[in-house]
Amino acid sequence: MGGEAPVTPVSSPDSSSLDLSYKPCDNMYISEPLVKVLRLVDGEKPAMGYLYEAMDRAKETIYRYYENKGEEGFTKRAQIWGVIDERWNNTLHRPIHAAGLYLNPAFAYACGFNFDGEVIDGFVQCAQRRVLTPAERLEISRQNEIYRMASGMLGYDMAVQDRTTRMPGKLQFQILFIPFYILYMTFIA
């Protein structure tokens, strides 16, 4: 009777070949970061600027849990990531989520936070699709440089404080960046 704890089979509806057994403590470490993502999506605030990063953090948490568990840990992590990636890529992973992350000042200006090529590409794809006139695209390119460098009013103390305390789209300095703001608002609408 004092043996191992019962295990729970995990499988994906789309991946019938996946059938690993997980201990209850595994279930907790696997599900906790994913539940955080679900809470974000189902919460009161708009999730657009946070979803992409939340999913990356969930996967990183699962990676760290299995990192030092040898070949079995590697296999379990790879299969869990396969289920997550299948859902993410077929349902949620769209350029608009990458653009939302890119336009979220809480991440854009965070120390040590760098956007990968996929995030920047998502932003550019959305700008290409949503902004039709060459003049507006040129203005967004110009404003993008100001945004990335936190120049002008974006560097003021009030704007710096707003980066992490106010929701994107509710920032005081948005009026200066009308085309950039319009592009962002089309993403979260």
Instruction: Please give the model's pTM, rounded to 2 decimal places.
Output: 0.61
Cβ neighbors of 54 (< 8 A, separation 6 or more) are 36, 37, 40, 47
In this prediction, residue 177 carries a pLDDT of 47
Query: In angstroms, rounded to a whole number, what is the distance separating the alpha carbons of residues 1 and 3?
Result: 6
Q: CB neighbours of 96 closer than 8 A, spacing ≥ 6?
A: 48, 122, 126, 187
Residue 96: pLDDT band by 50, 70, 90 thresholds?
A: confident
Domain end, chosen from 93, 112, 136, is at: 93
Q: How many domains does the chain have?
A: 2
Percent of the chain with pLDDT over 70: 71
pLDDT of residue 9: 42
| Residue 144 located in a structural domain | yes
- Residues listed for the chain: 189
Same domain, 84 and 26: yes
Question: What is the C-alpha to C-alpha distance for residues 64 and 75, in angstroms, rounded to an integer?
Answer: 14
How far apart CA 84 and CA 87 sit, in angstroms, is 5
20 class by beta-carbon count within 10 Å (0-12 exposed, 13-18 middle, 19+ buried): middle
Residue 52 domain flag: yes
- For residue 180, name the pLDDT band (cuts at 50, 70, 90): low
pLDDT in tens, 124-162: 888 888 887 888 888 888 888 888 888 888 888 888 888
Strand partners, 10: 20
Question: Is residue 14 scored above 50 in pLDDT?
Answer: no
Single-letter code of the amino acid located at 78: A
Which domain, by its residues, includes 85? 18-93
